Amino acid sequence: MEVEGAQICELSERELHEATVTTPVNIAVVKYWGKRNNDLILPTNSSISCTLNQDHLNTKTTVRASSSYTDDRFWLNGIEETISNSPRLTTVLVTLRAIRKEKEKTLGPLAEGEKPLSEWKLHIASENNFPTAAGLASSSSGYAALAVCISKVLELDLTASELSKIARRGSGSACRSLYGGFVEWQHGVDPSGEDSCAVSIAPESHWPELEALILVVSDVKKSTPSTSGMSTTVKTSELFPLRVNEVAPKRIKQMEQAILEKDFNSFATIAMKDSNQFHAVCLDTFPPIFYLNDVSRGIITLVHRFNSQVDPATGEPLGIRAAYTFDAGANAVIFVLKNNVKELVEYIASHFPPATLQPTSVYFPDPFGIFRSADAPTASGFEEYLKATPKTFELLPTFEPGSVRRIIHTNIGDGPRNKPCSASLLNVSGMPRRAKD
């Protein structure tokens, strides 16, 4: 493996037309749902998201251009997909090549027989380290990675804002993954889409106490794709105009203020209400769209019970300490401040226990070591907690073991990262290292 990595580095140094990046997932706390222009992917309302730490959730993409390649080729998680079958992928490629062609007009003449870089074919390999199309925003990180990688390979000097407009053409929410921290996708008013781009509200360092737990309920591809779901909602939901014209604009301002002031109570309240309304609009669609399931609804109940607890010493309410949000899928993202994470994990595990015989390290890897101590220097502290009885939490229904498949503990993270040539997903011949039949 080291030899192949060295060969790839030598190839990259010689041709200088390969790039590898990782990009983060972002989770919207004021949702985007519905388009005013389907072709340009222009949203009906602005949205705000939190960028999650890509050490835990990321898309990794390698793009290599070569004058010897005969076709553009694309592999997702080791499986080749036909580029012509994806209009959005094609749009991103065509857009970036057009920018390169414009740049080439200002460059000097080529040697006889040499093709301009804009005409070189591309081999693209992309991998997600989390379930694809299961409501965990895989398209947002995927198209962000694609836009960044291709722009580097084609030697384009584009800003994050400019790249966000291109990534948006692949997947709307992808524009927000061009930044770390807290991001607004401004819906814009220009019919051309030139003012519909992502902007930073605050960097990842702004609110270090804010963390997230992702409860993976299902790895199954969602039954209603977001694109078709949005289209049906815009056409049929009577609640949708109220959300677009009144509720969402107000929440954008409130959420931005809550983030800048690090006001968790307001942040949590807005996030939960907006998630609820998004799914209410989906239910108001005809025929209705169901992204949540019984386990999802159980998680919602659990968070509200967690937030209704009182201090046992004083009897005073502890206040809102956790906030759920659900995108177009059954999986939950729960935002929580760092000092409440351990108690919340215990609360979740009490009511959504791991599958029988499931290793503790799979159910909850404990990447930040919140269950470690001098007596339990590894994640075994969580395993000991699971064995302890009885649980002291108020009575809630306990779901079947394995209803929550795993808990991913993460925090707010940075934007796209450049990776060394040794991290390439393509081998020396330009094929994916981990190709699948």
Q: What is the pLDDT of residue 291?
A: 94
| Residues 151, 164: Cα–Cα separation, whole Å | 12
Average pLDDT over residues 363-380: 80
Residues 265 and 404 in one domain: yes
CA angle (257, 262, 263) in 5-degree steps:
75
The DSSP secondary-structure symbol of 243 reads I
Residues 72 and 103 in one domain: yes
- Percent above pLDDT 70 for the chain: 90
| Residues 76, 242: Cα–Cα separation, whole Å | 38
Structure confidence at residue 177 as a pLDDT band (50, 70, 90): very high
Q: What is the pLDDT of residue 435?
A: 61
Asked whether residue 430 is assigned to any structural domain, the reply reads: no
What stretches of 181-293 show up as alpha helix (H) in DSSP? 226-236, 240-242, 248-260, 264-284
Tokens for 116?
A: 């301009």
Asked whether residue 436 is assigned to any structural domain, the reply reads: no
Q: What are phi and psi of 9, to 5 degrees?
A: -60, -40
**DSSP-based three-state secondary structure for 160:** helix
Residues 203 and 214 in one domain: no
Q: What is the pLDDT of residue 398?
A: 84
Q: What is the pLDDT of residue 153?
A: 96
Q: What is the pLDDT of residue 436?
A: 59
**DSSP-based three-state secondary structure for 73:** strand
Residues 55 and 134 in one domain: yes
| Residues 426, 437: Cα–Cα separation, whole Å | 16
Structure confidence at residue 8 as a pLDDT band (50, 70, 90): low
**Stated pTM of the model:** 0.92
| Residues 183, 48: Cα–Cα separation, whole Å | 6
Cα separation values, 228 from 22, 193, 220, 231, 328, Å = 28, 21, 18, 5, 12
Residues 362 and 249 in one domain: yes
| Residue partners of 127: CB distance under 8 A and separation at least 6 | 59, 60, 61, 76, 77, 78, 425, 434
| Residues 209, 411: Cα–Cα separation, whole Å | 8
Q: What is the pLDDT of residue 2?
A: 45
Asked whether residue 437 is assigned to any structural domain, the reply reads: no
Asked whether residue 433 is assigned to any structural domain, the reply reads: no
Number of helices and strands (H, E) in the chain?
Answer: 12, 16
Average pLDDT over residues 324-332: 94
Structure confidence at residue 226 as a pLDDT band (50, 70, 90): confident
Asked whether residue 432 is assigned to any structural domain, the reply reads: no
Asked whether residue 431 is assigned to any structural domain, the reply reads: no
| Residue partners of 97: CB distance under 8 A and separation at least 6 | 118, 154
pLDDT digits (tens, 9 = 90+) for 267-316: 999 999 999 999 999 999 999 999 999 999 999 999 999 999 988 889 89
Average pLDDT over residues 250-274: 98
Residues 218 and 94 in one domain: no
Count the domains in the chain.
Answer: 2
Q: Which of 182-196, 215-229, 320-334 has the lowest mean pLDDT?
A: 215-229
| Residue partners of 386: CB distance under 8 A and separation at least 6 | 349, 353, 354, 360
- Please, what's the b/e burial string for 352-377 (b: 16 or more CB within 10 A of its CB; e: otherwise)? bbbeeeeebeebbbbeeebbeeeeee
Q: What is the pLDDT of residue 375?
A: 67
Residues 282 and 177 in one domain: no
Residues 251 and 116 in one domain: no
Q: What is the pLDDT of residue 112?
A: 84
Burial of 21 (0-12, 13-18, 19+ CB in 10 A): buried
| Residues 43, 35: Cα–Cα separation, whole Å | 4
DSSP assignment string, 92-143: HHHHHHHHHHHHHTTSPPPPTTPPPGGGSEEEEEEEESS-TTSSS-HHHHHH
Asked whether residue 244 is assigned to any structural domain, the reply reads: yes
| Residues 338, 209: Cα–Cα separation, whole Å | 5
Structure confidence at residue 139 as a pLDDT band (50, 70, 90): confident
Handedness of CA 248, 251, 252, 255 (dihedral sign): negative
Q: What are the strands of the beta sheet with 121-128, ordered from one edge?
A: 79-81, 73-76, 121-128, 58-66, 18-24, 417-418
Residues 223 and 184 in one domain: no
Average pLDDT over residues 63-87: 95
Handedness of CA 361, 364, 370, 373 (dihedral sign): negative
Residues 220 and 159 in one domain: no
Is the predicted pLDDT of residue 3 greater than 60, yes or no?
no
Residues 129 and 184 in one domain: yes
Residues 175 and 273 in one domain: no
Is the predicted pLDDT of residue 376 greater than 80, yes or no?
no
Q: What is the pLDDT of residue 373?
A: 75
Is the predicted pLDDT of residue 387 greater than 60, yes or no?
yes
Q: What is the CATH number of the domain that holds 388?
A: 3.30.70.890
Mean pLDDT of the chain: 91
Q: What is the domain extent for residue 284? A: 210-411
Q: Which of 49-53, 137-141, 208-212 has the lowest mean pLDDT?
A: 137-141
Q: What is the pLDDT of residue 267?
A: 98
**DSSP-based three-state secondary structure for 207:** coil
Q: What is the CATH number of the domain that holds 200?
A: 3.30.230.10
Asked whether residue 435 is assigned to any structural domain, the reply reads: no
